Amino acid sequence: MFRDKMVTPAIPERIYALCKIVEKEAVSTEKVKERMEPSYLNQKTSYYSDYRNAAEELQLITITDNVLSLGVDPSVLKSMDTMRFYINGQLNRFREGQFYKVTKAYYDMGESILHGEQNVANMALVMTERAGIPVDSMAMRAWRFWAAYLGFGYLQDMFVIPNADTFLQDIIKKADFEINKRYSIASFLEKIRPYADIVIDPSSGSKIFNFGVSNGLRTLQDAGFIKMEHIMDEKDTWNLYHINELSVNEIVTNIIVLK
């Protein structure tokens, strides 16, 4: 799912359910499969291996002699939100996988993403060209579920509106910022690397946050999670993506994490 090709059966809810089964004790793979896909349902197709493999990729579980065990602290599975927080800290390990490259390409398209195809399943060719790897419509359908769950955007039917607020909030929390301390924009970006590289490229030289990241930062500021500042005479500056309706305070020199 993350290491190579994205697959639609490996949705977050199935992975979470699988992990909860082995949360307290190791269970044979046959018993886990039976609980996830009961034989009395007479399903013609089994999706078990897809979501089990995804859970193993993410190191949520370990498999030894066909026995599944929990691979993380049980606190990771307290909720779907805590699992998301954990997974967002794992994405950097999959830089060569479809999910990472498609997400990066999607964000690199900026605001133009709003004016093109509104069904991500029909964007396979565009993503193949932009991500530089083969991508088909089924992979894009799988991407849509995970992009929404991990906080890279908001689902609107088959379209994902780029807004990285939830993802950014997770990695800011993971970076362990001091509350109410003013960080230069350079220090802020350095602290959230390498997790943020999937949507922010500090080495690009442009120093302009793309559309989806700008949406996320503005949303987090509106929610009282961060405060962005423009301090005159500061040499290091980044710009938020220009939106006519939100043209005030586009220059950022410092960020304060408020909670």
Tens digit of pLDDT for each residue in 207-222? 999 999 999 999 999 9
Least confident stretch, 3-7, 40-44, 142-146: 40-44
With a cut of 90, say whether residue 40 has pLDDT above it. Answer: no
Tell me which of 41-50, 141-150, 155-164, 244-253 is least confident: 244-253
Q: Please tell me the number of Cα atoms within 13 Å of 7 on its side-chain side.
A: 17
pLDDT value for 247:
58
Instruction: Tell me how far apart the alpha carbons of residues 85 and 251 are, in angstroms, rounded to a whole number.
Output: 29
Residues 191-206: b if buried by 16+ CB within 10 A, e if exposed: bbeebbbbbbebeeee
**Alpha carbons within 13 A on the beta-carbon side of 220:** 27
Supply the pLDDT for residue 248: 62
Quote the tokens at residue 233. Answer: 């005479």
Q: What is the pLDDT of residue 246?
A: 59
Quickly state the pLDDT bin for 109 (edges 50, 70, 90): very high
Give pLDDT, residue 245: 65
Distances (CA, A) of 14 to 11, 94, 132, 198, 246: 6, 20, 29, 24, 39
Inform me whether the pLDDT recorded for 184 exceeds 90: yes
Return the pLDDT at 161: 96
The percent of residues above 90 in pLDDT, for the chain, comes to: 88
Can you tell me the distance from the alpha carbon of 145 to that of 198, in angstroms, rounded to the nearest whole number?
A: 17
Question: 238: which strand partners?
Answer: 252
CA–CA dist 137, 231 (Å, integer): 46
CA dihedral 225, 230, 233, 236 (to 10 degrees): 60
DSSP letter for 105, please: H
pLDDT at 43 (0 to 100)? 77
pLDDT value of position 60: 98
Instruction: Name the burial class of residue 128, with classes exposed (0-12), middle (13-18) and buried (19+) by CB atoms within 10 angstroms of its CB.
Output: middle
pLDDT at 206: 82
Q: What is the pLDDT, as a whole number, of residue 244?
A: 67
| C-alpha pair distances (Å), 11 with each of 24, 55, 119, 149, 195 | 22, 10, 19, 9, 22
Say what the pTM is: 0.94
Write the CB contacts of 196 (distance below 8 Å, at least 6 apart in sequence).
168, 171, 189
- Asked if the peptide bond before residue 194 counts as cis, ω within 30 degrees of 0, the response is yes
Residue at token pair 């939830």: 166
- Nearest by Cα to 238 from 226, 253, 227: 253
Under the banding of pLDDT at 50, 70 and 90, the label for residue 113 is: very high
- Record the tokens describing residue 146, joined without a space: 């995970």
Query: Looking at the predicted structure, is the pLDDT value of residue 242 above 90?
Result: no
